[in-house]
A and B are shown apart, each in its own frame.
Chain A
């Protein structure tokens, strides 16, 4: 499973084995295209179906029916001819569709005729005071440990934030016998009214009944504090307590573990490093790639499917994966495309899967104070840069995230802005009275994941070694 790619060139290379990537690779391979699926994790599934082929959680109802859908996707892929490589980190992709991938400590280069990026989402930064303390993690982190290792919180545990994942995680922790002391709901009260016009679509969406049942299940067992307007973690080198304000009242609760979540945003690093155009999404408050109806990006030959294309959830991701793969088949093997599910049918599936999304995006739009910190709160975890540091740099002439790097090194650490980029954009936009679109984002560069010098040095020699040739 951790072998280097068998070939130097493929028809389709899919990056990411979450719902979109699994569906895309299966569709592409079933149509007879030479397909390679590269995935960074130990096994397929992405985040939502994390450890689907290996989870030690054997009582199926504990993870819920939505999780086990992933097993069928993996099964479909494994019966296809797609080459699948796990623990494969794609660290470079360029507009010539050349891909650099690290597998087992060695890098290889492969060329694709079509690339489908299915790099999914990551949790939105939640930059509150103390969020770098040991003992503060994302809700997704806890869910990953639960799915892949059947680990559940057993100390004093607080979950804070908002959004469907938070309730799902809480339910799963409780079902597996874990401990949750308190849930702090940061949903802004005003959001309920804002979301009202979209409620009809939501009521008829797949989310509604499941969501309601889950909230009821959790509320029966855990104290839920709603209307939380301030939140901070504190402790000396380790989380000791969580401080919050709800309904104007300040409270402190001792805690060993604080799990934070305020939604997910597209994981844009590889796409941006490939030169794909992104725009600021005012509803989802994040950067999303500019795509056509088939997921094709601004770089010829690269499509994006799944949450990396804009947050739509697992159901939508599967359909988007099929759409992107079908478009690749239409381009590379038009005769075969006729045998696949018609595009019109796939688009109808997508519309159905995306139903209710606007309601969720509006209801769970994170409050400004949890997106745009102030004072000594750390924004860039890698380089340990505070909100005040950034505002000081703005005051002496830093106009955007890229100029800020020269003053403060924000985004220059190993995470390459994944945990600070959105915060920096919004913080600078607010400070300079500009829109996030005008402020822009870090120019991202390969390697999108660090590689060792020895690994790079071991890349096979070519003519380029003899003479630095300018290509193209």
Chain B
């Protein structure tokens, strides 16, 4: 059976769900196709950082756009997504790192971005009392925070469905093809047709793009996270390091999430990852050094979500350079969660209005196909 819809969104991560929702808000009736269930992979199991801090400059406008949505997330979704805004702090562990922070903030200010603010040792200690005394300062982005990723992704999915999106979970989109200006996608025995196709398939999106003649340098990665048992409250903001791979966040319930981008081995076809405990031990050592209070906390569980990482660590976002009606939204390279709400809004504008006020030009897929690369 074939059903015609306004748009086909492939991938039920926070990006696909957000785009489906924003298409609904614009009056379209999309179908969202997810091979497992919404939030099964990176979107549901990432660190939940809602971060403008320390982003690549080309994606800052999208991040700022997204932040505005996060701050009113309950109005949009009828679900608070456990979003909390206690800021995010980047810690410099020595004077060299602090100098790099100073240069970065100056660079952003020159470009007109003011969300990052240089802080000295005193302000660092005020924001993060538990940090080791040796750290001379850092950068804070005060509006940043964190949310519960699975809750947020599910809330986007639920709201999209309430507003008229069809959500098709449990079967992969196959046989994606284009004829006479119409996209065709098979989902088991069902087929969908639409003038618009959004490729938001995360770790699986590179394969889709390649099959449609737009290969991009993208690999599948699985950043690892681990979480502790409940400990008494001792830290509010999310902490990341300038020089080493570490992100650190305490939830309201007392558990502490430790991440930072050490990678597991993904087995994409099996939806499985094999953790690298020796690398996780490195994260543990970093916490051990920087947060002495955490030394006898208990590690409860570790995991990794499967996602796509591009060669230049920037997402592929915007219309296809090759096919009419095809849009890409993938390759968020370990930092896509915060961008989800804004990217969905911008994507809907691109699809419905043919353009957007948010500056996204540097994220286009044709950056990989220009002769200069």
Contacts and interface: CB of A to CB of B under 8 A. Distances in A.
Contact of B284 (A92, A94, A445, A456): A456
Contact of B272 (A275, A413, A446, A453): A275
Nearest to B170: A399
A456 B278 contact: no
Given A453-B284, A453-B295, 12 more contacts: A96-B274, A406-B39, A416-B301, A447-B300, A450-B229, A451-B299, A452-B299, A454-B284, A456-B284, A457-B287, A468-B261, A469-B276
Contacts of B281: 456-459, 461, 465
A447 B299 contact: yes
A465 B278 contact: yes
Which residue among A400, A456, A461, A471 has the maximum number of chain B CB atoms within 10 Å of its CB? A456
B279 interface: yes
Interface in A74-95: 92, 94-95
A403 interface: yes
A454 B288 contact: yes
B368 interface: no
A453 B288 contact: yes
Nearest to A404: B150
Interface of B: 37, 39-40, 44, 148-151, 154, 157-158, 221, 228-229, 245, 253, 261-263, 265, 270, 272, 274-282, 284-285, 287-288, 294-303
A470 interface: yes
Contacts of B288: 453-454, 457
Contact of A452 (B37, B39, B262, B296): B296
A357 interface: no
A471 B265 contact: yes
A406 B154 contact: yes
A445 B303 contact: yes
Overall SS of chain A's interface: loop
Nearest to B151: A406
Contacts of A456: 277, 280-281, 284, 299
A100 B276 CA distance: 11
Nearest to B82: A406
Contact of B301 (A407, A447, A469, A472): A447
A454 B287 CA distance: 9
A397 interface: yes
Contact of A405 (B150, B229, B278): B150
B297 A452 contact: yes
Interface of A: 92, 94-96, 100, 109, 275, 396-397, 399-400, 402-403, 405-407, 409, 412-414, 416, 443, 445-447, 450-454, 456-459, 461-462, 464-465, 468-472
B150 A468 contact: no
A292 B295 CA distance: 44
Nearest to B301: A445
A454 B285 CA distance: 8
Nearest to B264: A470
Contacts of B154: 397, 403, 406
A97 B296 CA distance: 28
B279 A465 contact: yes
Contacts of B275: 92, 94, 446
Given A453-B296, A470-B221, A406 B44 contact: yes
Contact of A454 (B277, B280, B296, B303): B296
B246 to A, nearest CB: 12
The secondary structure that dominates the B interface is: mixed
Contacts of A461: 278, 281-282
A468 B154 CA distance: 31
Contacts of A451: 298-299
A412 B257 CA distance: 13
Contact of B277 (A109, A275, A443): A109
Nearest to A411: B301
B300 A470 contact: no
A58 B62 CA distance: 74
A94 B267 CA distance: 12
A167 to B, nearest CB: 37
Nearest to A443: B303
Contacts of A96: 274
23 contacts: A92-B275, A403-B37, A403-B150, A406-B44, A406-B151, A406-B154, A407-B151, A412-B300, A412-B301, A446-B301, A447-B300, A450-B300, A453-B295, A456-B284, A459-B277, A459-B284, A465-B279, A465-B282, A468-B262, A470-B263, A470-B265, A471-B265, A471-B276
Given A95-B274, A453-B294, A459-B281, A468 B299 contact: no
Task: Pick the 5 closest A-B CB pairs, nearest first.
Answer: A406-B150, A459-B281, A456-B284, A457-B284, A457-B288
Contacts of B228: 453
A212 to B, nearest CB: 46
Contacts of B229: 414, 450
Nearest to B275: A446
B276 A468 contact: yes
A92 B281 CA distance: 13
A342 to B, nearest CB: 36
A344 B50 CA distance: 61
A92 B150 contact: no
A94 B276 CA distance: 10
A100 B279 CA distance: 13
Contacts of A465: 278-279, 281-282
A468 B158 contact: no
A121 B265 CA distance: 31
Nearest to B271: A443
Contacts of A406: 39, 44, 148-151, 154
A450 B277 contact: no
A412 B296 CA distance: 19
